[in-house]
Structure 1
Amino acid sequence: MNKILLLLILMFPLSEALAQTTVMVSEGILKGTEEASGIRSFKGIPFAAPPVGDLRWKNPQPAKAWTGTRDATHFGPKAMQRAIYSDMVFRSNGMSEDCLYLNVWTPAKQATEKLPVLVYFYGGGFAAGDGSEPRYDGESMAKKGIVTVTISYRLGIFGFLSHPELTKESPTHSSGNYGLMDQHAALVWVQKNIAAFGGDSEKVTIAGESAGSMSVSSQVASPLSKGLFRGAIGESGSCLGINSVSPLKEGEEKGLKFMTAANASSLADLRKIPADGLLELTAHLDMNRFPVTIDGYFFPQSPIKIYGTGLQMDVPLLAGWNSAEVNYHSLMGNDSLTLTNYQTKVKTLYGDRADEVLKLYNAATDADVEQVATDLASDRFIAYATWKWIDLHSKTDGKPVYRYLFTHKLPPMVQPLNPPSRPLLGAPHASEIEYAMGNLSLDKVYAWTPDDYKVSATMQNYFANFIKTGNPNGEGLPTWYGLQSSIPKVMILDVESKSQPEKNLKRYVLLDSIYNK
């Protein structure tokens, strides 16, 4: 039967196969699902060989071909990770070190349609997350005429361990950054295979949030990815932030420290430890995170130098962040919100630059501290890093750059917390994802209102237009000016979205002078 099916697919146009939710990719035949909306989905597609055994801590290798028809109706397993973030909901098939799978949603009725493509990288601090999360679901974006792909990549110690022995055994004389290399391998797979789903390999845009946005900025910077996509979207994060990327030596030192703490004498010993045991060790040793490194291969030099000298990919960029990425606790801890406590904290953090910081993050009374501390905490956490990426790309790249600020506050929860949490001062980290991807209905935590759906429609349409054309503007939307235009403005995304002049440039310039000496 499988030989007959293969013969039929070779004899008849792929458009017929696609209409039957059956496609042929470079590794074999896939059988997907037709959703009620008419969108066709293909889940759990291997884009690389399982990174297990001797392939643990090696660059991803090509996926092996299969015989017969492979079921692509369920998500693959998520990458090895601990339960770190309470807002993550998974539809994955368990958890495994064998995790290099991707998912495709396509509106195409024929494989010859050459539709634009979105490849989305999830967030989670490079320690958690998965392409199966409902907030990243691709069906809604596919309804906009976009072939949408989510991928999984290695996390934590599995995706970012550096070690002198790993560097020595590597043919590229590098180690770490395996998670980023997984993303690269997925992009290569998309180039080879997305036409089978009606997508155009020359119209690929990559996007991501938080660590996913850091990944997007990293892929734009890496010479390995040149030619694999034509546009980039970043939501809250970049590889140009405070301590975002470390020298390879620092990563190797952490790897040595881990090996010693794990009572292992060699890489062979570490590779023999079962995945569950290795994950448990990272928790026990409080070493959940391993740094992205300037490895000499994926990053031939530091990202700041790559962007600063214009060596990154020449692609349009749409990026921004949220108005209250983190709350004041990230700066103040559990200290009471008094002017004295705030000033003391700033002086401790910034020393002889404290007066400059206090002038721009100015709190005149105790009542001002919560907002000002939230602003500074959010900038330190991720807003500054995103600004730096946008700023450098707009100066060293000839393509348009569009910047946003997402200010829409989340609605009340369906089941409010008891006791209730303190009201948010703005839009918190990661809250924009469901809006951007058109997936509010898949999140059952919040009591969404018509205003929420209005914001989502606006944001998703901007994103969809950018994916299709490299420009977010379109009919019925407020005009979004590029930063290189004669009227550089920031798009405020809220119930009434609007472009307005930059208000906080001095803050980011000050932080830049402190962090990039």
Structure 2
Amino acid sequence: MLGALLALASPIALAAARSADAPPRVTVDQGMLEGKLAHVHGTVLREFQGIPYAAPPLGERRWKPPQPAASWQGVRAATRFAPRCMQLPLFGDMVFRSNGMAEDCLYLNVWTPASDARAGLPVFVYFYGGGFVSGDGSENRYDGASLASRGMVTVTVNYRLGVFGFLALPELAAESPVHASGNYGLLDQNAALRWVKGNIARFGGDPRRITIGGESAGSISVSAHMASPLSRGLIAGAIGESGALIAPIAPQSQAEAQTQGAAFMRKAGAATLAALRAMPATALLSASAAPAPDMGPDIDGLFLTEPPAATFARGDQADVPLLLGSNTQEGFYPNLLGRLPPTAANYRAAVTRLFGDQAERALALYPGGDRAQVERSASDLAGDLFIAHSTWRWMNLQRRTADAPVYFYLFARPRPAKRHPLPGEQPDPGAVHSGEIEYALGNLDSNPVYAWTPADHKVSRVMEGYVERFVKTGNPNGPGLPAWAAVGNADGPVPRQRIDVDTGTINDTGAARQAFLQSFIATHPAIALP
């Protein structure tokens, strides 16, 4: 009976049926890729993992700007995440699906709806966090499938980390045609953006509608791309989740970065740059373990020609819609007090050590009269000094010098209890640093550590909806979402979207303390938590 039915079926229909189940193929500049199909939220997606966007940064290419990826013959499988970049195991919340770890790590991943490969969909490129020393585009929390099922192309990018991504040396500057050294990880991101610009139409994306986003170091990267003369013309929008390359997270000067690089070279036991390049990657990684020189973004003269704050203040950054914000518990009071109990006396002593003769001004803005107030204010101050203040300054600069709209949020949903807490372990009282990622990208169920509730899924639907609308239109507002007012450029109350079970617009209450920190940091740039 089945044979008779097949005999009656038309060859065209049978070919269409086989084609619908066949692995998807896309031809990019380097050759043909074969991905895989996935079904997510009732949508068929095409997924491509481990796509090389640059040549392996090995041998003489170590500590050089990324070079174009080589072409290949035949069909290249793109069904498995590539190796993550070299990194130490520093953060317990990172769950990788990568194919091990290697210095050959410059790959990206694409999720796109399967319905129409020529759809001209908006594109969202996401950079992971991890302090520029850890992270990977394969992490479950960054999975692009949920957003892609909403009608966009999503991309995650691997970039060099730590000493591999940010070493600066006079010898490296001497090799460079523009005398630049450092920022190789940011140059990797730029190379990935250029690859996306040139190839994403073949995945159904619109190269004129690329929004970049990221959290923590990823957010800091987004702010840097908005300022960089190499990147700012490549993007149509930006999303920053906690962090900007603005004081107190300002880039080092190249001279400072080269001093740190020379210290690392001595620690690694290499007398010359050639000897350093000849060292195994594992040896370099071991040498970068604490205590180690501080390496991160610098004003290299290529990717960055000045501090981003100066670019933003002058209005020369990318004039694109910006959605950004931070969380209610970016820091916690032990970050300020250490193991000391949160008493008023201990808190006053800690604030005095930080602010000296301006301690009374700080205490007026971050009061600590009793234990509850100390816990709250010390957490606020620790979070501001860690990353919230740089985010606020980014918002304030962009709204004053750009014509495009700015949308500012405060993520306030604490994670629920863990499924298997340790004895005595309690949920955090606020929304911790990085705690919004799974909500924003629609990936709560990818994290089995927490006992997610219907309320958490409600918050995720709202926040992911905001991301979807912003990537598609440059405006987070849309049907079924609580109204979100853009920030104006005039003085006065700053509207801020408080994202929680009851999401809505409030007036930002932190302007006075942020103004104080900005003034203090201008004369005390080395301020840092103990």
Please classify the TM superposition score into its range, dividing by the shorter chain length.
over 0.9
Q: Report whether the alignment pairs 1:382 with 2:387.
A: yes
Matching residue within 202, 206, 226 for 2:208: 202
> What does residue range 302-381 of structure 1 map to in structure 2 within 5 Å?
302-381=307-386
Q: Deviations over 1:228-280 (max 9, x none)?
A: 11000000000003143111101000111111222211110000001011101
Partner of 1:392: 397
Deviation at 1:159, TM superposition (A): 0.1
C-alpha distance in structure 1 between counterparts of 2:253 and 2:55, whole Å: 28
User: Which one-letter code corresponds to 1:149 in the other structure?
Assistant: V
CA contact (8 A) 1:18 1:110 kept: no
Q: Number of matched residues?
A: 500
Answer yes or no: is 1:143 the counterpart of 2:149: yes
Partners in 2 of 1:432 and 1:516 — Cα distance? 30
Deviation for aligned residue 1:296 = 1.3
Say if 2:30 is the partner of 1:30: no
Distance 1:265 1:373 in 2: 45
2:122 and 2:206 in contact (8 A); partners too: yes
Contact 1:207–1:232 (Cα < 8 Å) also in 2: yes
Q: 1:405 matched to which residue of 2?
A: 410
Quick one: distance in 1 between partners of 2:193 and 2:21? 21
Q: Which amino acid aligns with 2:346?
A: N
1:107 to 1:245, Cα distance in 2 relative to 1, 3 A: same
1:107-186 correspondence runs (5 A): 107-186=113-192
Tell me what 1:495 maps to: 501
Displacement of 1:352 in angstroms is 1.1
What letter corresponds to residue 420 of structure 2 in structure 1?
Q
Deviation of the 1:218 alpha carbon? 0.3
Match of 2:453 among 446, 449, 468: 449
Equivalent pair of 1:411/1:447 in contact (CA under 8 Å)? yes
Which stretch shifts more, 477-486 or 251-260?
477-486
Find the residue that maps to 1:227 and give its secondary structure. Answer: coil
* CA offset digits 1:12-66 (Å, max 9, x no partner): xxxx899851000000000001013311100000000000100000000000001
Cα displacement string for residues 134-178 of structure 1 (whole angstroms, at most 9, x for unaligned residues): 000000000110100001000000000000000111122100000
Percent identity for Structure 1 against Structure 2? 50
CA contact (8 A) 2:250 2:307 kept: no
- Asked if the contact 1:371–1:425 (Cα under 8 Å) also holds between the matched residues in 2, the reply is no
CA gap 1:22/1:289 in 2 versus in 1, 3 angstroms: farther
**Which sits farther off after the overlay, 356-365 or 486-495?**
486-495
Query: Is the 1:233–1:319 contact (alpha carbons within 8 Å) kept by the matching residues of 2?
Result: yes
Deviations 1:438-466 (A, max 9, x none): 00011110000000000000000001000
Between 254-263 and 321-330, report the one with greater CA deviation. Answer: 254-263
Secondary structure in structure 2 of the residue aligned to 1:41 = strand
**Deviation at 1:226?**
2.7
Q: Aligned to 2:265, which of 238, 259, 267?
A: 259
3-state SS in 2 of match to 1:321 = strand
What TM-score comes out, normalization by structure 1 length?
Answer: 0.95
Moved more, 70-79 or 257-266: 257-266
For the pair 1:223 / 2:229, whether they are aligned, the reply is yes
Instruction: Give the 3-state SS of the residue equivalent to 1:459 in structure 2.
Output: helix
How much does 1:287 deviate?
Answer: 1.8
Cα gap change, 1:122 to 1:156, in 2 (>3 Å):
same
Contact 1:156 1:288 in 2 (8 A): no
Contact 1:327–1:374 under 8 Å retained in 2? yes
> What do the CA deviations read for 1:360-383 (whole angstroms, capped 9, x no partner)?
001222332111110111111100
Distance, in Å, in 2 between the alignment partners of 1:227 and 1:286 is 39
**Which residue identity is paired with 1:331?**
L
Alignment of 1:45-84 (within 5 A): 45-84=51-90
Q: Secondary structure at the match of 2:324?
A: strand
Superposed displacement of residue 111, structure 1: 2.3
Give the conservation status (yes or no) of the 8 Å contact 1:109–1:198.
no
Partner SS, residue 138 of structure 2: coil
Deviation at 1:304, TM superposition (A): 1.4
The question of 1:512 aligning with 2:518 is answered yes
The CA RMSD measured in Å over matched residues stands at 1.5
Task: Indicate if the aligned counterparts of 2:141 and 2:446 stay in contact, CA closer than 8 A.
Answer: yes
- Whole-angstrom distance in 1 between the partners of 2:177 and 2:21: 39
Structure 1 residue 108 displacement after superposition: 3.9
2:14 alignment counterpart: none
Quote the offset at 1:79 in angstroms: 0.3
Distance 1:153 1:248 in 2: 20
Q: Which of residues 455, 462, 469 in structure 1 aligns to 2:466?
A: 462
Report how far residue 488 of structure 1 moved: 4.1
- Displacement of 1:288: 7.0
Please give the per-residue CA displacement for 1:274-314, whole angstroms capped at 9, x wherever unaligned.
Answer: 1011101111x622741210111111111111111111111
Cα gap change, 1:288/1:102 in structure 2, threshold over 3 Å: closer, same or farther?
Answer: farther
1:30–1:288 distance in 2 versus 1, CA, 3 Å: farther
TM-score by length of 2: 0.92
Q: Which runs of 5+ in 1 are unaligned?
A: 1-15
Deviations 1:216-235 (A, max 9, x none): 00000001013211000000
Residues 470-481 of structure 1 aligned to structure 2 (within 5 Å): 470-481=474-485
Tell me, what secondary structure is at the counterpart of 1:208? strand
> Secondary structure at 2:439's aligned position in 1?
helix
| 1:252–1:17 Cα change, 3 Å | farther
Q: Judge which range, 40-49 or 483-492, deviates more.
A: 483-492
